[in-house]
Structure 1
Amino acid sequence: MNQPYVLVLYYSRHGSTRSMAQYIARGVEQAGIEARLRTVPAISANCEATEPGIPDSGALYCSEADLAECAGLALGSPTRFGNMAAPLKYFIDGTSSLWLSGALINKPAAVFSSSSSLHGGQESTLLTMMIPLLHHGMVLAGLPYSESELLKTRSGGTPYGPSHLSGQDQRPLDETEINLCIAQGKRLGELALKLRSDP
């Protein structure tokens, strides 16, 4: 039998969302379950543009099997006009077969995002990212206020999921943002273990 894992699936253009994904993966593994980092290729307005089958660096591209077989999902994207980035949306739009089979029903999910301005649409991005996951029947796991750093953050961090304020200068994650990412990953990992249907 395959070992259970939480899929940490993200798209990152400048590296901030990738950093968040890595800290979320750390939290997942603190819960005692494997974290599998995956990304999606960029898309182009040029219909003949293609990406290599394996990225030059970073996580591998996500397959349908990676998503279908996960015990939980963390989905991350930079904010694009208050919504997820097109490459991630394109990937999610192609998961109809998983919706038809019910492969993701009752699996826990969380969302995370990074933006270049504090009021650049972090919360709307997180909320709209949840919608396809609800259609898939997933169980959403935000960040509860028992994570006290939610009350003192001056950058990213929401009850809908971790967020990061990168600014125009691509500011690295601060300590609060890191801790909230790890906490989200740990909570998701714990829930994935509790909600697994097979013994």
Structure 2
Amino acid sequence: MSVKILIVYYSRNGSTLKMAQQIGRGVASVAGAEAILRTVPEVSTVCEKVADTIPESGATYVSLADLESCDGLALGSPTHFGNMAAPLKHFIDSTGSMWFAGSLSGKPAGVFTSTGSMHGGQETTLLSMMLPLMHHGMLITSLPSNEIALRETSSGGTPYGPSHRAETDSAELSEHEKRLCWVLGVRLANIAQALQAAKE
């Protein structure tokens, strides 16, 4: 059964992108599931103008059409003072028409984050990203408590979603962090397929 899982992220230094790629690998490991990676443009610090609509390199910028056509969503952001980064929030704030139409209602969604320190607000950032998704009527997908990597990790990882403790711009994901990202991708794909099968 074919499903598309949209992975939308903002990444300034590359850590959140690395997580998005691992989630994509989890999605792709499920037969019939496709991972679609998209990012969001920078937001001007002096006005509400955003960057050009087509990036010169890297992932394509997400559109409302991407959201409309997806069967599931993973949303990722670095932690900025215990909250999601402004560029991602700016994009989410543009989805009011989809809220009115109920376009995302009933679709599974998960969240992920990266931060520069152990106590940088990982869990509050994940929770803050869940709130608009719940307003959209999405089905929040967490990490299961019986996942061994969640019990054993000494870096990132929470029941609310994968997290990564970067500390430096070049910090690689730990094996536990990679595993938890992969697990979220698999869960989103499997749930999307189950929901699609229930409709048929």
- TM normalised by structure 1 equals 0.95
Q: Is the 8 A contact 2:15 2:169 kept in 1?
A: no
Aligned length: 197
Answer yes or no: is the 8 Å Cα contact 2:13–2:169 preserved in 1: no
Secondary structure (helix, strand or coil) at the match of 1:137 reads: coil
Q: Which residue of 2 aligns with 1:174?
A: 174
Deviations along 1:88-131, whole A, 9 cap, x unmatched? 00000110000000011110000000000011000000011100
Partner of 2:111: 111
Distance 1:27 1:139 in 2: 19
Structure-2 separation of matches of 1:195 and 1:49: 38
State the 4+ residue runs in structure 1 displaced beyond 4 angstroms.
none
Q: Is the 8 A contact 1:31 1:187 kept in 2?
A: no
Q: Is the 1:31–1:186 contact (alpha carbons within 8 Å) kept by the matching residues of 2?
A: yes
Q: 1:50 to 1:110 in 2, by over 3 A?
A: closer
Identity rate, percent: 56
Aligned partners of 2:190, 2:48: CA distance in 1, in Å? Answer: 43
Residue 8 of structure 1 aligns with an amino acid whose one-letter code is I
In angstroms, what is the RMSD of aligned CA positions? 1.4
- The normalised TM-score by structure 2 is 0.94
Q: Using the alignment, how far apart are the partners of 1:50 and 1:169 within structure 2? A: 24
Q: Can you give the 5+ residue segments of structure 1 that lack an aligned partner in the other structure?
A: none
Structure 1 CA distance for aligned equivalents of residues 108 and 175 of structure 2: 26
Deviation at 1:52, TM superposition (A): 2.8
Take 1:48 and 1:134, find their aligned partners in 2: how far apart are those partners? Answer: 25
Query: Residue 19 of structure 1 corresponds to which residue in structure 2?
Result: 18
- Render the CA deviation track for 1:156-191: whole Å, top value 9, x for unaligned: 000000000000353110111001100110011100
Change (3 A) 1:23 1:48: closer
Is the partner of 1:18 in helix, strand or coil? Answer: helix
